[in-house]
Structure 1
């Protein structure tokens, strides 16, 4: 297990952060996770649409 002394410093002498993230690898993501993500965005868009029609247009969408 690494201790704080073993890890590279994050804050440089110039007072700026110098942390580097690992590369993101999505190649092992299952199909079900992508489908769930798609449903998440569809639901988010539906909530936004309902908010927009109710409060901006003052005519709420009945199907939502």
Structure 2
């Protein structure tokens, strides 16, 4: 996940350079990368919840 966030931050820093500032294509790419980061965060949360649930089931089975 860190590499995706780093990519998004790198794009943002490029966009802020004088030669690229205001470039609409780069601006759209930045927005797309931010959405990708958000989607990955959501996926990570869901995966973590499912993983925790699986671990809980395994613990319950061991206790039985």
Higher helix share goes to which structure?
A: 2
TM-score by length of 1: 0.44
Greater Rg over alpha carbons, structure: 1
TM-score by length of 2: 0.44
